[in-house]
Amino acid sequence: MQPTNRSRRILLPVKMWFVYTTLFVALFLNYIPTGHLPAVPDFVALVLAFWCVREPLKIGIGAGFLFGLLTDIGVGAALGQHAFAYVLVAYAANELSRRVLWFTPVEQALHVLPLLFLSQVVMVIVRLMAGAEFPGWWMFFGTFVAAVLWIPLHYVLLLPQYQPMERDDNRPI
Amino acid sequence: MVGHSPPPFFKRGPAPLAKLVFFLVLSLALLVSDLKLRYLDAFRQGLSVLAYPLQMAAATPADFVRNASDYFASLVRLQIENKELKSKQLKEGERLLRLEQLEQENRHLRTLLEARERQPVKSTVAEIMYTAKDPFSRKVILDKGAQAGIEAGQAVVDDAGVVGQITRVFPMQSELTLLTDKDQAIPVMVVRSGLRAVLFGSGDGLMELRYLAANADVQPGDKIVTSGLDGVFLAGLPVATVARVERDQAQTFARIPCLPAAGVERFTHVLVLGHRESLPARPPEVEPVVGKLKGRKARSAKE
């Protein structure tokens, strides 16, 4: 039997303003001062990975760099720390997109988990080389929470594309 | 077929790998210039104007949680706190009365001695809003900024001792680096022996007296205060207490972890101290022998 790209329903084309709005919402969530609370996911990395997987032709490394810089400013991290990690995430997600989209959301989450984990590891390495203290293993818990969030995100972020532009009761989709 | 290129069906700009390398190098350059050379403060200020509205909006949930917990604080707790504060104020009041008289006396004596007048330190009360999210450092955000006259480098104390130092100032907020931040240093003195040393944050919520000889005169329980040698902190502010002293003959220096005196990791009101009176000018450097140093070297030596 021919394998089918199960996750690719026929969707409306994505609207770029919606992509950037969701990225800014994620930035807002990242800015919420949760202090050193464990298990807070990196929302920008997650949403960025999502759009880079869905729309590799429209969004990629440049957006990763920009939103990385904005995250650095907002959370008081070293300038370029998140930018470095997000550029890697965006590149890897773009490259993986052809493969990942063949899987169900749960399997997709398993693909994204190492990606997000890698971004955290990169940040730890960069900061430890600059002489910061190691914050503890708790900071990696957020990655797993983010991977779980991928599944609801898959439905929420694609919602606008499920809806037909003009309602036609005689048309099947 | 020479000279024919494939039609631009799938135009994606530069190759992804080239883009990746470009942006990675750019972020690395930013990192180095921010962490090592500290060139980017103006750039950060500029970008923070963009991020500020979002930041403010994001801080509201935290504000709400903080205010709600204040609102629902139990009556009993408030009564106990009130009683404690009253008794404390009574105790302090007597000392304050004497202090005023002593200050008067000090001023007289100083005029008699023709010494420079000690300028009164202007201080600002600020509240700790939240802990900065960066997990690699120990920083908190205060609710007063450049508009309240706060500048980078000012010392911050609470009722028990030194808390830290202002490291970045934004229009309405400022960033306070706690003493327990790794490698945050403060020149100190051991009260009992008068020994001068430098206290470093060790990163695990403690601090460490470094570069003291293995036989240095330090005991567990010793009080440590600022020595004032840096021109930033006033002399004599309590900083820490020596927790234990580990002397290892194989090592040149003793290992001396200390407990911070102030509520460094607690959320309270703090006092941002104004700049100290300006220190006397540095003595002029001896002019180098003319002829040996030329060009840029000579100029930098004069400066």
Per-residue model confidence (pLDDT) at position B152 = 85
Percent of chain B with pLDDT over 90: 7
- The 10 Å CB-count burial string (b at 16+, else e) for B273-292 is bbebeeeeeeeeeeeeeeee
Q: Is pLDDT above 80 for B121?
A: no
CATH number at residue B221: 2.40.10.340
- A31 lies in which domain range? 16-131+139-162
Q: Is pLDDT above 50 for B301?
A: no
**Residue B297 confidence class, pLDDT cut points 50, 70, 90:** very low
In a domain, A156, yes or no: yes
Q: Is pLDDT above 70 for B44?
A: yes
Per-residue model confidence (pLDDT) at position B116 = 59
- Residue B248: exposure state from Cβ atoms within 10 A (0-12, 13-18, ≥19): exposed
Mean pLDDT of A133-157: 89
In a domain, B113, yes or no: no
CB-based contact A135 B135, cutoff 8 Å: yes
Nearest CA-CA distance, residue A22 and chain B, Å:
14
Question: What is the total count of domains within chain A?
Answer: 1
Per-residue model confidence (pLDDT) at position B295 = 47
Give the predicted TM-score (pTM) of the model.
Answer: 0.78
In a domain, B267, yes or no: yes
Assign residue A80 a region: left if phi > 0, alpha if psi is -120 to 50, beta otherwise? left
Looking at per-residue pLDDT, the higher value among A18 and B129 belongs to A18
* Ranges A35-44, B70-79, B156-165, B242-251: which has the least confidence: B70-79
CB proximity B27 to A under 8 Å: yes
Name the token pair of B81: 């706190």
Q: How many CA atoms lie within 13 A of B210 on its CB side?
A: 14
In a domain, A154, yes or no: yes
Q: Is pLDDT above 80 for A112?
A: yes
Query: How many CB atoms neighbour CB B185 within 10 A?
Result: 15
Question: What is the total count of domains within chain B?
Answer: 1
Mean pLDDT of B175-197: 88
Query: How many CB atoms neighbour CB A128 within 10 A?
Result: 13
For A151, phi then psi, to 5°, come to: -70, -55
Residues in B closer than 8 angstroms to A84, CB to CB, are 24, 27-28, 31
- Mean residue pLDDT across chain B: 80
CB-based contact A75 B132, cutoff 8 Å: yes
Name the token pair of B292: 């040996």
List the beta bridge partners of residue B175. B141, B168
In a domain, B79, yes or no: no
Q: Minimal CA–CA distance to A101: which of A20, A7, A2?
A: A7
Q: Is pLDDT above 50 for B159?
A: yes
Mean pLDDT of A100-122: 91
In a domain, B82, yes or no: no
Q: Is pLDDT above 90 for A163?
A: no
Q: What is the distance between the alpha carbons of residues B276 and B273, in angstroms, rounded to a whole number?
A: 8
Q: Is pLDDT above 60 for B140?
A: yes
Per-residue model confidence (pLDDT) at position B236 = 84
CB proximity A95 to B under 8 Å: yes
Name the token pair of A1: 């039997």
CB-based contact B30 A28, cutoff 8 Å: no
Sign, Cα dihedral of B44, B47, B51, B52? positive
Touching A: B residues 231-290, CB under 8 Å:
none
In a domain, B156, yes or no: yes
Mean pLDDT of B121-137: 83
In a domain, A8, yes or no: no
Q: What is the distance between the alpha carbons of residues B226 and B236, in angstroms, rounded to a whole number?
A: 5
Q: Under DSSP, is residue B40 helix (H, G, I), strand (E, B) or coil? A: coil
Mean pLDDT of B131-156: 86
In a domain, B187, yes or no: yes
In a domain, A169, yes or no: no
Q: Is pLDDT above 60 for A154?
A: yes
Q: Is pLDDT above 80 for B211?
A: yes
- B195 lies in which domain range? 119-277
pLDDT, tens only, B260-292: 887 766 667 888 887 765 666 777 777 666 554
In a domain, B109, yes or no: no
